[in-house]
């Protein structure tokens, strides 16, 4: 847990005023900088003390053999783990003969500040050595959104007392750092592979060093370079050294008070599984030249412009809860950091902020992150789906191995192969395929990007539809059933007719049928015949959705409600998360829900339920949902808001939003919970904003809890920017005017069709519409959560 006092509430950044070594790993995650291609944990410049040093490149992994106590056919043979690549963040300082080390001497002042508008991590400190000499250091670090391979660090040292002082600054590239020893064996943390980088090449020239390596088993080549600008009045003495795993520039200078030494370190990271290291080295040198040409201030300015553009399409304004305002902007900032330049590489569950979950991407990306990006930066969604498309060969092979048709995308992966070492919670979670299809459908609907649909989307839809078609079967009553799969709730597994899975498969089948009919040429190429399309439609229409007449609610899966209820009363608080203190066996066979599953269906397939069903279902599942997954709270917020439990929605919104800024799950040290943060944003847009996108149109049913007087957020839709502003009694929908001269003069003026609480209307650019909002029903009793698992009530203890 990170205490409330660690990061003071402010609207546009995260600030830390005291260095707490007990939170070193957690703050490394919070202060991580990334652009989707390159990620750097917020390690101290001097590299130590540290929780985990981390520099990651999207898509760079090492493979390793997966071991099994008892192997079974089709169990994945190889794991993949994100690699902590060559560390370019390190800048060590020697004050006279003493290293600046926060463990030694005295850290008189300390501040770190991450600014969401500049994208810069600032650190300032005043440190007094054991010999009693004081220096001030200011470092500014950024990972560029504009030049994806580039990071830059400006490091400034000033003497803070009367006498001149000799300092030596050592700027390093360091490969194959040994990981910190760890005691815990939490399955959610990372595999620790050591010494995975095989040296290939190392060069130096003046203050430039380039090191190239290759991963030993996965054979990925990477090259990393650094160059430096040094500004100091004294004529500095410098030395550049290079070794297989180390590049180092040491600069020594005598500093007069008031005359700082400024070292600007430019870094570039390139990798490839195809190109030679020599090619990569050339790329690194070229990128460094461009970065030097741009200069620190140039990079700073371009970073600012990138972020200005982001906030225009993404910023949420939430009045009445400044802590959440901060948290939501943190969440939005992380969306950009994880996806901006990921391009055709995966967006991992932790982004590039830590090695948790081995750096794998899961269904979270498509189910949580992409819906947020769709309405802000759809181009990033297109890239992310291109990555999935690129992995179709692996997914087809996996389906074949499993005896299925089409494509079976992996539960967890970096390179596209299934890496789950426990199939009941991995391979069996086929719903990942429907999440991918749903992301395709949403992207195409929100952008009308028919070229993408033709070239990539249709194939993803067709191959996943084929998977569902072979996964399910028509029972004796003709209904289409999907047996033996695992839904989102990982406290149940290998169930028949998981409602979420069945309903998502239904959409997937229909979306594929529609796409195949729209793109006959693609269909022909994929050998989709009319009969196959007909089987998809038949299966979709016959899809079985179990219903419990006795309780009047939907069972999570066919048998779920027949199971005994988990003994919540007999479960002490320290047993949570249950997966760390109870066997799967006990969890699977009882009514206990790790994370929204049926409730997720109420959201993602809200069109398949009546409001009354949603309310009853939500209230039932509230009583057995323990939220041992960070993916849960945001979704519970959405449905709580829809069915009228607005304060509860606010509570869940807070839990999702503050996941990492307060380390609510106790594992932010391993990296941020990107999908949970996406869930927080969804709790705003789809929860209080009531946004739904089941069809070809955006529908809004906004409503605010009493404590929140105003909310606004933008929505990008087919090139237009809609601004939604909500107050307790009214919603205002305004469409930005088109830029003058934009588009063809003769073209039809664009128009957006949307609905407010079921009333459909149209907006043209520059127009706005105001609509009233009815208050929520007053007589609803707040549903009860399992013993000890109620969310913290917002506003009561804050």
For residue 243, how far is the Cα from the chain centroid?
A: 36
- The least distance separating its own copies from the CB of residue 369, rounded to whole angstroms, comes to 23
- The least distance separating its own copies from the CB of residue 191, rounded to whole angstroms, comes to 10
Cross-strand bridge partners of residue 150: 268
Q: In what order do the strands lie in the sheet containing 91-95?
A: 98-99, 91-95, 165-174, 246-255, 237-242
Nearer to its own copies, 577 or 679 (CB): 577
For residue 291, how far is the Cα from the chain centroid?
A: 27
Would you say 15 and 7 are in contact if contact means Cβ atoms under 8 Å apart?
yes
Nearer to its own copies, 459 or 628 (CB): 628
| Angle at 611 (CA atoms; ends 608, 612), nearest 5 degrees | 115
What element of type H or E holds 151?
A: strand 150-159
- The least distance separating its own copies from the CB of residue 466, rounded to whole angstroms, comes to 16
Please tell me whether the peptide bond between 3 and the residue prior to it is cis, using omega within 30 degrees of 0: no
Nearer to its own copies, 481 or 673 (CB): 481
Beta strands per DSSP E along 278-404: 317-319
Would you say 624 and 592 are in contact if contact means Cβ atoms under 8 Å apart?
yes
Look at the chain and count its residues: 798
Q: Is 795 exposed, middle or buried (0-12, 13-18, 19+ CB in 10 A)?
A: middle
Of the candidates 216, 227, 217, the residue with the CA atom closest to the CA atom of residue 264: 227
Would you say 356 and 190 are in contact if contact means Cβ atoms under 8 Å apart?
yes
Nearer to its own copies, 73 or 744 (CB): 73
Angstrom distance (rounded) from CA 309 to CA 224: 29
- The least distance separating its own copies from the CB of residue 404, rounded to whole angstroms, comes to 8
Catalytic annotation present for 619: no
- The least distance separating its own copies from the CB of residue 574, rounded to whole angstroms, comes to 14
Nearer to its own copies, 419 or 715 (CB): 419
The residues, any chain, with a CB within 8 Å of residue 633's CB and separated by 6 or more, are 627, 652, 653, 655, 656, 659, 676, 679, 683, 791
Angstrom distance (rounded) from CA 391 to CA 409: 8
Nearer to its own copies, 82 or 639 (CB): 82
Given its phi and psi angles, is residue 213 left (phi above 0), alpha (psi -120 to 50 degrees) or beta? beta
Cross-strand bridge partners of residue 548: 553
- The least distance separating its own copies from the CB of residue 187, rounded to whole angstroms, comes to 5
- The least distance separating its own copies from the CB of residue 562, rounded to whole angstroms, comes to 6
Of the candidates 435, 432, 454, 431, the residue with the CA atom closest to the CA atom of residue 515: 454
Q: Mind giving me the DSSP string for 195-225?
A: S-EEEEEEEEETTEEEEEEEETTT--EEEEE
Name the DSSP letter for residue 118. T
- The least distance separating its own copies from the CB of residue 13, rounded to whole angstroms, comes to 37
Would you say 445 and 715 are in contact if contact means Cβ atoms under 8 Å apart?
no
- The least distance separating its own copies from the CB of residue 496, rounded to whole angstroms, comes to 5
Q: Is 23 exposed, middle or buried (0-12, 13-18, 19+ CB in 10 A)?
A: buried
Of the candidates 674, 673, 685, the residue with the CA atom closest to the CA atom of residue 649: 685
Angstrom distance (rounded) from CA 364 to CA 119: 25
Active-site pick, 46, 294, 323, 490? 490
Measured from the Cβ of residue 442, the count of other Cβ atoms closer than 10 Å reads 20
Nearer to its own copies, 295 or 421 (CB): 421
Would you say 170 and 147 are in contact if contact means Cβ atoms under 8 Å apart?
no
Would you say 197 and 213 are in contact if contact means Cβ atoms under 8 Å apart?
yes
Q: Is the dihedral of CA 575, 577, 579, 585 positive or negative?
A: positive
Would you say 657 and 324 are in contact if contact means Cβ atoms under 8 Å apart?
yes
Nearer to its own copies, 58 or 348 (CB): 348
- The least distance separating its own copies from the CB of residue 97, rounded to whole angstroms, comes to 47
Distances (CA, A) of 459 to 345, 385, 438, 509: 19, 11, 13, 12
Angstrom distance (rounded) from CA 355 to CA 372: 23
Nearer to its own copies, 262 or 580 (CB): 580
Measured from the Cβ of residue 702, the count of other Cβ atoms closer than 10 Å reads 23
Q: In what order do the strands lie in the sheet containing 752-756?
A: 698-700, 752-756, 759-763
Distances (CA, A) of 741 to 556, 716, 734: 53, 20, 20
Nearer to its own copies, 550 or 778 (CB): 550
- Enter the tokens of residue 139: 């470092």
Nearer to its own copies, 166 or 474 (CB): 474
- The least distance separating its own copies from the CB of residue 509, rounded to whole angstroms, comes to 17
Of the candidates 781, 688, 585, 679, the residue with the CA atom closest to the CA atom of residue 328: 679
- The least distance separating its own copies from the CB of residue 478, rounded to whole angstroms, comes to 13
- The least distance separating its own copies from the CB of residue 408, rounded to whole angstroms, comes to 10
- 597 three-state secondary structure: coil
Nearer to its own copies, 419 or 511 (CB): 419
Q: Which residues bind its own copies (CB under 8 A)?
A: 66-76, 79, 185, 187, 401-403, 420-428, 473, 475-476, 481, 483-485, 493-494, 496, 550, 558-559, 562-564, 579-586, 588-590
Nearer to its own copies, 285 or 597 (CB): 597
Query: So which residues are the catalytic ones?
Result: 490
């Amino acid at each position: 847990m990170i205490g409330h006092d660690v990061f003071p509430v402010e609207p546009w950044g995260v600030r830390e005023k005291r260095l707490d070594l007990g939170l070193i790993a957690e703050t490394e995650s919070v202060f991580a900088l990334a652009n989707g291609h390159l990620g750097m944990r917020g390690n101290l410049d001097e590299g130590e003390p540290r929780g985990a040093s981390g520099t990651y490149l999207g898509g760079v992994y090492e493979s390793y053999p997966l071991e099994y106590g008892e192997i079974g056919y089709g169990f994945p043979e190889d794991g993949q783990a994100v690699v902590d690549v060559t560390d370019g963040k390190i800048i060590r300082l020697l004050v006279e003969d003493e290293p600046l080390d926060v463990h030694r001497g005295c850290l008189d002042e300390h501040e770190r500040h991450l600014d969401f508008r500049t994208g810069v991590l600032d650190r300032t400190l005043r440190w007094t050595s054991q010999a009693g000499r004081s220096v001030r250091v200011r470092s500014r670090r950024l990972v560029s959104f504009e030049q994806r391979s580039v990071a830059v660090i400006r490091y400034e040292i000033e003497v803070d007392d009367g006498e001149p002082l000799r300092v030596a600054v050592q700027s390093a590239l360091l490969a194959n750092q040994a990981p910190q020893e760890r005691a815990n064996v939490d399955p959610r943390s990372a595999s620790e592979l050591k010494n995975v980088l095989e040296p290939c090449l190392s060069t130096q020239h003046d203050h430039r060093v380039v090191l190239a390596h290759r991963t030993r088993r996965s054979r990925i080549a990477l090259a990393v370079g650094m160059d430096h600008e040094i500004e100091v009045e004294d004529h500095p003495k410098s030395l550049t050294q290079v070794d297989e795993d180390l590049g180092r520039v040491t600069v020594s200078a005598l500093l007069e008070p008031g005359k700082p030494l400024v070292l600007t370190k430019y870094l570039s990271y390139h990798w490839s599984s195809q190109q030679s290291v020599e090619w990569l080295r050339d790329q690194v040198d070229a990128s460094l030249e461009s970065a030097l040409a741009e200069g620190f201030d140039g990079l700073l300015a371009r970073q600012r412009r990138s972020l200005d553009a982001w906030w225009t399409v993404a910023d949420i304004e939430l009045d009445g809860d400044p802590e959440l305002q901060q948290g939501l902007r943190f969440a939005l900032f992380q969306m950009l950091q994880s996806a901006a330049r990921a391009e055709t590489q995966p967006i991992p569950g932790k982004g590039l902020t830590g090695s948790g979950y081995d750096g794998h991407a899961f269904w979270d990306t498509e189910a949580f992150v992409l819906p947020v990006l769709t309405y802000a930066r759809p181009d990033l969604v297109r890239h992310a789906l291109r990555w999935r498309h690129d992995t179709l060969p692996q997914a087809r092979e996996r389906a074949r191995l499993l005896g299925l048709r089409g494509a079976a995308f992996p539960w967890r992966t970096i390179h596209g192969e299934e890496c789950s070492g426990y199939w009941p919670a991995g391979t069996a979670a086929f719903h990942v395929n429907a999440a991918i299809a749903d992301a395709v459908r949403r992207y195409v609907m929100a952008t009308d990007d028919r070229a993408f649909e033709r070239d990539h989307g249709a194939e993803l839809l067709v191959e996943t539809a084929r998977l569902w078609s072979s996964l399910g079967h028509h029972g004796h009553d003709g209904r289409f059933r999907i047996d033996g799969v695992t839904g989102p709730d990982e406290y149940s597994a290998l169930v028949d007719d998981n409602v979420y899975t069945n309903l998502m498969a239904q959409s997937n089948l229909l979306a594929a049928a529609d796409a195949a009919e729209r793109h006959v040429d693609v269909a022909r190429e994929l050998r989709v015949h009319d009969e196959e399309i007909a089987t998809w439609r038949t299966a979709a229409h016959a899809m079985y959705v179990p219903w419990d007449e006795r309780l009047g609610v939907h069972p999570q899966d066919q048998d779920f409600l027949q199971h005994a209820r988990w003994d919540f009363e007999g479960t002490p608080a320290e047993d949570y998360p249950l997966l760390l203190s109870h066997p799967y066996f006990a969890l699977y066979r009882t009514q206990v829900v790790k994370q929204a599953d049926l409730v997720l269906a109420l959201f993602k397939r809200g069109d398949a339920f009546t409001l009354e069903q949603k309310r009853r279902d939500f209230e039932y599942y509230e009583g057995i949902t323990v939220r041992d997954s960070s993916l849960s709270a945001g979704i519970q917020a959405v449905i709580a808001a829809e069915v009228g439990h607005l304060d509860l929605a606010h509570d869940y919104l807070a839990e999702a939003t503050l996941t990492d800024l307060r380390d609510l799950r106790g594992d932010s040290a391993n990296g941020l919970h990107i999908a949970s943060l996406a869930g927080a944003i969804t709790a705003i847009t789809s929860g209080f904003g009531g946004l739904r996108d089941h069809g070809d149109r955006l529908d809004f049913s906004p409503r605010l809890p009493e404590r929140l007087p105003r909310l606004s957020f933008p929505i990008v839709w087919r090139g237009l920017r809609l601004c939604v502003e909500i107050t307790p009694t009214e919603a205002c929908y305004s469409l930005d005017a088109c830029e003058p001269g934009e588009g063809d003069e003769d073209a039809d003026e664009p128009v957006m069709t949307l609905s407010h609480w079921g009333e459909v209307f149209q907006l043209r650019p520059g127009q706005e519409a105001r609509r009233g909002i009815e208050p929520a029903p007053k007589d609803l009793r707040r549903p009860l959560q399992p013993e000890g698992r109620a969310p913290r009530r917002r506003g009561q203890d804050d």
